[in-house]
Amino acid sequence: MASALRGFLTDYLPQQRALSPHTLHSYRDSLKLLLQFVAGKTGDPARLSMEHLSYEQVMAFLLHLETKRHNQASTRNVRLGAIRSFFRYVATHHPEHLEQAQRILSAPLKRTTLREIHHLELSEVQAILRDIDRSSPEGRRDHVLLTFLFNTGARVGEVVTLQTSDLVLDVLPSVRLRGKGRKERRCPLWAETAQALRAYLGERTVGLHEPQGVFLNQRGQPLTRFGVRWILQKHIRNTAEHLNSLKTKRLHPHSLRHSTAVHLLRSGIDLSTIANWLGHVSINTTSKYLTLDLEAKRQALDQSEPILSDDQRRIFPCPENDLIGWLDSL
């Protein structure tokens, strides 16, 4: 098993499939959790053999994720996807375990529930930015960070790897973002965002020709995904004390990406431009934001005629007078 894991993680994924480090780390973490579960609290994962990773153990592990770690079905499916990929490799390179691999490859993905996507209204974004205390270097960094996220709709992974050499802050300000699958795109910056970035980098005495991380933590290291999430949650909690609409929303860094898309849509930008702005491969991915714009739905409702007029409504029997007869008439 150690040989299979080594070949899978150090040769097959990075060399033969050329997957990104983020994908590689996700696969690694999934397999690490599986090995720790199978070994148990007192066992040593290094002593496990391939036979220990049976179909029954994999299914027990998936159940453990949902019941003990309280993972959503989508997270469970991500872990199973990594396990499947490993055993697809095992089936090819270690055919003596082909039957075992085929059983695990037959493990089904669980159907997921598509929850409502929450986003921030423009007034809510403005309130959060207005409430940030910019008297400290951390506060000024947080203000620039959240402004940049809303301006660009960048993924959090694109922000934490952003370099100063990716910024153009002169006449036509823009930023180069590296998205999923190593795809690069250039996104325009508002004049206000460019000015805030110039002031923030000038305070650090960093030039754009020097390839350094843009957003750093207190130790001078690039912010992590968890750091960006913590910063956003901190300022949302602060603003939610006087803005009740924030208290009922599930918000995270990706919510700012949704907010950018809805803001562009309401500004009259076409879907193909928004897809290019956000780095979507397919415009079908961008079209989901049409369902988020509740204000556009209200306007459409106001412009449409009611299905039933008052005269039509009166032809139905009144439930208060004859409830059973009304039920029979349905």
List active site positions: 155, 180, 254, 257, 280, 289
Report CA dihedral (290, 291, 295, 298) to the nearest 10 degrees.
120
Residues 249/116, Cβ–Cβ less than 8 Å:
no
Q: How far is CA 212 from the centre of its chain?
A: 25
Half-sphere exposure of 37 (CA within 13 A, CB side): 21
Tokens of 218: 């207190």
Q: SS3 letters for 225-294?
A: HHHHHHHHHHHHHHHHCCCHHHHHCCCCHHHHHHHHHHHHHHCCCCHHHHHHHHCCCCHHHHHHHHHCCH
CB atoms within 10 A of CB 122: 13
Count of CA atoms in the C-beta half-sphere (13 A) of 293: 19
How far lies 181's CA from each of 92, 178, 185, 210, in Å? Answer: 25, 9, 12, 25
Closest CA to 177 of 169, 165, 193, 190: 165
CA dist., res. 194 & res. 190, Å (int)? 6
DSSP 134: T
Q: How far is residue 114 from each of residues 224, 282, 288, measured CA to CA in Å?
A: 27, 19, 12
